[in-house]
Amino acid sequence: MHFAEMALLRWLFDSCGVDRIYASVLSNNPMAIRFHGSAGFSLKDSSP
């Protein structure tokens, strides 16, 4: 799954002119937070 997300992100930035992507992840899902973090996403806001 990581490779698919990285390929999609690379395509969006390189071919489609996208300069920012937002993702919503539940704060009680640390595995998803780490997964997206490894793809370059950073935590901007947290809510319960």
From CA 25, how far away is CA 31, in angstroms rounded?
Answer: 10
> What secondary structure, in 3-state letters, does the chain show?
CHHHHHHHHHHHHHHCCCCCCCCCCCCCCHHHHHHHHHCCCCCCCCCC
Which pLDDT value is given to residue 48? 67
For 18-47, what is each residue's pLDDT tens digit? 999 998 899 899 999 999 999 889 988 877
Query: What phi, psi does 6 have (nearest 5°)?
Result: -65, -40
Averaged over 3-26, what is the pLDDT? 92
Of 8 and 2, the one with more pLDDT: 8
pTM over 0.75: no
Q: What integer pLDDT is reported at residue 2 of this predicted model?
A: 84
pLDDT of residue 27: 87
